Structure 1
Amino acid sequence: MNVFAINKGVALELSVDEFEKQTYHMYPYYIKRKGKGLSLHAICPECGNPIQIVNMYGAEMMQKVTRKVVLYAKHAGRPVEGFPYWNEHEMKNCSLYKPSRLGNIEIRKNTKESEKIKNIIETKWRKIKQDIREITGINLKNSVMQHMYEVFMESKAYNYKAVNAYNIPYAMLRYQDAISIYGVFLFNSPMSRIVKDEINKNSRYFVIQGNRIRKKVNGFHKIGIYFTKYQNVKNKQYIHMVVYETNSSGRKAVIFKQKIEMKPWIYA
């Protein structure tokens, strides 16, 4: 996982600076174990069980050189000194413990967590919309976003075990039908440059002019996006955005695919 907590239910994005800021290098977050050096811990923001922080200072040193060492957290799987709460049942039902693939429709047993996710979507929808636009690099229309909201909520996708409180924008894009992007403007985010370059380079029927997606040839052509292929590789999570087009006969072709590293989205 890429989040941690000092208090259950209050998630923080995991980084060296944030962890040190919250813990002050103090016990029980920093424990010196005989012959084993420092052991770093916090709690899971969802289930409240102790978690272990892995590669905290290895990541700090190596990222500047190779960027191959990944800082992450995982459930300790046992009681930990200094952390009074330990509940194996809660841990095994936590969506952050051995997370399901985004795309899986297995129903979560913890209905309280599902209601929490539903409430976040209902109350933080305006912010979630902007985060979805940032992820895609496309300023999706409000009508399109409303359709996405209705599809996700009416299918009760917030009950899926793969959906947690920190991957909501990705989940809403993954559990969705194809999204039309014809006529919309780009959104000011790092992804928008990729979208612009790839569409202008690879599309037969569309072009981006003045940061807007337009047709470059006459005909009943369509352009859209969908999200697919979740991956968990070396404790990093990825999802793929596919941009496609269809010609007037309905024949589809992929314009480009983009692998996106998933970050935690925290809605306080």
Structure 2
Amino acid sequence: MHGRHYPRNVTGLPVYNQVNYSVCPLHKPTAFGITQIRECELVNEEIKKLIEDNRSQLASNIRDITGILLKNERIYQMIDEYIVAKDYCYTHTNKYNIPYSVLYTRKAIELFGQRIDSSELGNRIHLAIKERSGKFDVEEGRIVKKVEEFVSLHLLVSNHRIRGSKQYMTICIGEKNGHEDTHCIIQEEIEMKQYIYRLKNYVE
């Protein structure tokens, strides 16, 4: 608990400040959406700098969230696209939910050739591909194709929900062949965590 995240003074913590409490993203989170742009350039630039200074940690967090061991090259490309598009300026983005914002705004993320994590989520993804996919398989932890034609297997992070003090998103992995509708192989609700990133010149 931090003094500014609780609406009264707490012994041993900084004095409660109503202004800080009101503007803190942990006090009143914003629902994810790609319609509202934050106009506070100071906050936007801080988030952008946090992203640029913490690419490696951000990549690791994205792997933990998705259960997919996406290659650095793929994740860094996603981050570059995110920065160029200025998606960090959406009002839902704050300095504690950056990896979720990156995943949410990237839409479908191609998974062919990527490895699957050995986490609980990764194991469920592994099993779902094995049992429910007609076009993909998993060999030695890597996602491979079972067919010759052009097919795609992609990950989508969507459906942000706020329930009391907790937040959730939906992870869906689907396969598609040409113009066919996407066939969902696995859909999981995940509880969001807060991630802390430091600026390179940050001093304790």
TM-score (norm 2): 0.86
Corresponding residue number in structure 2 for 1:116: 46
Q: CA RMSD in A?
A: 2.0
Contact 2:152 2:177 in 1 (8 A): yes
8 Å CA contact 2:67, 2:122 repeated in 1? yes
1:217-236 Cα shifts (integer Å, max 9, x gaps)? 33211111111000112321
The CA deviation at 1:155 is 1.7
SS in 2 for 1:106: coil
The answer on whether the counterparts of 2:174 and 2:183 sit within 8 Å (CA) in structure 1 is: yes
* 1:103 paired residue number: 33
Q: Which has the higher helix share?
A: 2
Where structure 2 has 5 or more consecutive residues not aligned to the other structure, the ranges are 199-204
Letter in 2 for 1:142: N
Q: What residue number does 1:17 align with? A: none
**Residue in 2 aligned with 1:167?**
97
The residue aligned with 1:80 is 9
Higher relative contact order (CA 8 A, sep 6+): 2
What is the rounded CA distance, in whole Å, between the counterparts of 1:91 and 1:155 in structure 2? Answer: 30
Q: In structure 2, what is the equivalent of residue 51 of structure 1?
A: 5
Give the alignment's TM-score, normalised by structure 1: 0.67
What secondary structure is seen at the aligned counterpart in 2 of 1:193?
helix
The size of the alignment, in residue pairs, is 196
Q: Which secondary structure does the structure 2 equivalent of 1:260 belong to?
A: strand
For residue 100 of structure 2, give the secondary structure of its aligned residue in structure 1: helix
* 1:232-251 deviation digits (Å, cap 9, x = unpaired): 12321111111011124444
1:185 to 105, 109, 115: 115
Pair 220,91 (structure 1): closer, same or farther in 2 beyond 3 Å: same
Distance (Å, rounded) in 2 between the aligned partners of 1:250 and 1:151: 27
CA distance in 1, matches of 2:144, 2:112: 7
Match of residue 203, structure 1, among 125, 133, 136 = 133
